[in-house]
Amino acid sequence: MSKKPNSINTALVRVDYNVPIQNGKILDLKRIEASLPTLNYLIEHNTPIVLMSHLGRPKNINPAYSLKILIKPIERLLNKKVIFIENPQQINIPIGSIGLLENLRFYSGEKQNDRSFCEQLAKLGDFYINDAFGASHREHASISGIKEFFPNKNYKGLLLESELHQLNILKKNPKSPYTIIVGGSKIGSKIHMLEAFLDIADNILVGGGMAFPFIKYSGGDIGQSICQDSELDIVKSFLNKAKLSKTKIIFPLDFLVTKDLVSKEHQKIVDSYKIPMELMGVDIGPKTISLFNEYIINSQSIMWNGPMGVSEINDFSHGTRSLAESIKIATNSGAYSLIGGGDTASDISRFGFEKSFSFISTGGGAMLEFFKNPNLIGFEKLKNLK
């Protein structure tokens, strides 16, 4: 910073505390822990802090998505009292405490990037820090419009700086063979972003829910597996571009299928193009695991975004775990590995592999979007904090 933070000026910090929650319990604190370098730096300089974040995708105010659940973990990690702010117009943060604003997505002005809401938020601080890499591709009030109200007082958090440094390793000079692995269920947006890797990556391995629209488009039977017909045109466009590139696109050979995610009945391995009508694909099969692992082990640069199945259910996590183990081996042999996406990061943590890769990004969509457009809306007009 041109002028160090001090006890007079309050830092308004956009963090990404979109943590996984199940049955009212936080499953993983990694996204909160990732923000600690920035927050501790501000605390060391006696700077009052107001935190703001989103959690989930609530349509409006919904107690199940309240950030109140984060108060105790933040207090424990920072050894500071957290004052909860019910709405942006109500603030009184005692010296030595940290303010935490209620879920930004409870307010319609956040996603609409509404100017009056931006102004409301801006009154909570004297300077602005974006440390929410995972949300930096969103043109939302707390990421985009708010910066107008802090002329020359907009900064990158230390996490954001670290993310950009690591992503630029793959952006500017990936070693070949370079393999991208994509899975998960956010199909439409990811396929658009994958176009940025054509003629850059040597291989793109497509697994998990991502694979089903491709298989269906190619005439395969996918049973009850996830797929929206609106995605088929996107698949067609991508495959036409891929044919003209040097990048290999590799799809699953087989899947583990079941009739129901809860009862887990009728589990069996089937050909990826012949899933019975009443069954759904829930994990990649052994032939696919073997095929994908062969590409991974022979790669020098690896980027992975999205699980290979419904990996939060142990019965359907074998493919995701196996690929994680192969990436770990490749990393130990000198490959650079970048992992991203909330579900993938949670899986890695559950498997006990947090320290097995070159870098684990706090962003999924933002990570892929960066490779398509490194000048994301959230990075504009930001200076370095230190």
- What are the catalytic residues? 31, 186, 342, 365
Report the SS3 class of residue 384. Answer: strand
> d(Cα 324, Cα 16) in Å, to the nearest integer?
24
Residues near 162 by beta carbon (within 8 Å), at least 6 away in sequence:
37
Largest CA distance in the chain: 66
* E strands in the chain: 11-14, 21-22, 25-26, 49-52, 82-85, 98-101, 127-130, 154-156, 178-182, 203-206, 221-222, 248-250, 254-258, 268-271, 274-275, 280-284, 301-305, 336-340, 359-360, 383-384
User: In degrees rounded to 5, what are phi and psi of residue 83?
Assistant: -100, 120
Closest CA to 146 of 383, 386, 378, 362: 378
| 66 contacts 24 by C-beta, under 8 angstroms | no
Residues near 252 by beta carbon (within 8 Å), at least 6 away in sequence:
206, 207, 211, 215, 272, 284, 285, 288
Tell me how far CA of residue 175 lies from CA of 168, 201, 231, 306, in angstroms.
13, 10, 32, 22
